[in-house]
């Protein structure tokens, strides 16, 4: 397989098409509208993995105030590049970003990828009883799986 290059950058319109297609098929955002994906990217710090011809292979974004908090979300790797450590490199790239140093807390949620994130230092919440949420089960008209 080709070389993988990872950079923190805003996705192009063509990238947003690929990102939208991938996210709309995930368990965490089934049916998400493209405009929501585009707005999410525009308001976050994004990392993109590309092959040697520039095609998008993987994506991750961080919602952050760049002072104390970061929420890592929407991490995915297209099937052609899975199993090569691309997701971990996307996360490492974001964690190393100069604007994200010295943050007090990083969070993420995953149903099935704990093994990807644990080697990067992520652990279960120390005090889950302190956290609360408002969850909308079907914001895009489809129930999450």
How far is residue 68 from each of residues 46, 95, 103, 105, 130, measured CA to CA in Å?
18, 13, 4, 6, 18
Residues with Cβ within 8 Å of residue 117, at least 6 apart in sequence: 91, 108, 110
Binning pLDDT at 50, 70 and 90, where does residue 138 land? confident
Q: What string of DSSP letters covers 23-65?
A: HHTSSSSTT--HHHHHHHHHTSEEEEEE-TT--EEEEEEEEE-
- Can you list the domains of the chain with their CATH numbers? 5-130 (3.40.630.30)
The CA-atom distances, in angstroms, between 94 and each of 44, 46, 89, 139 are 11, 8, 9, 27
- Give pLDDT tens digits for 16-73: 999 999 999 999 999 999 999 999 999 999 999 999 999 999 999 999 999 999 999 9
- The number of angstroms, rounded, from the C-alpha of 58 to the middle of its chain's C-alpha atoms is 9
Instruction: Write down the pLDDT at residue 137.
Output: 78
Q: What is the helix (H) or strand (E) element at residue 67, kind and residue range?
A: none
- Chain CA centroid to CA 60, Å: 3
Report the 3 state secondary structure along 91-118: HHHHHCCHHHCCCCEEECCCCCCHHHHH
């Amino acid at each position: 397989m080709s070389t993988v290059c990872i950079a923190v950058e805003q996705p192009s319109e063509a990238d947003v098409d690929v990102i939208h297609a991938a996210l709309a098929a995930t368990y965490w955002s089934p049916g998400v509208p493209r405009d929501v994906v585009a707005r999410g990217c525009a308001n976050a710090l994004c990392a993109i993995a590309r092959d040697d011809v520039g095609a998008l292979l993987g994506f991750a974004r961080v919602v952050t105030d760049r002072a104390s908090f970061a929420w890592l979300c929407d991490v995915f790797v297209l099937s052609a590049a899975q199993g090569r450590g691309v997701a971990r490199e996307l996360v490492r790239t974001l964690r190393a970003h100069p604007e994200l140093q010295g943050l007090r807390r990083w969070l993420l949620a995953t149903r099935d990828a704990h093994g990807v994130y644990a080697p990067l230092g992520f652990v279960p919440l120390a005090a889950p009883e302190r956290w609360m949420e408002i969850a909308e089960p079907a914001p895009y008209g489809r129930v999450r799986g």
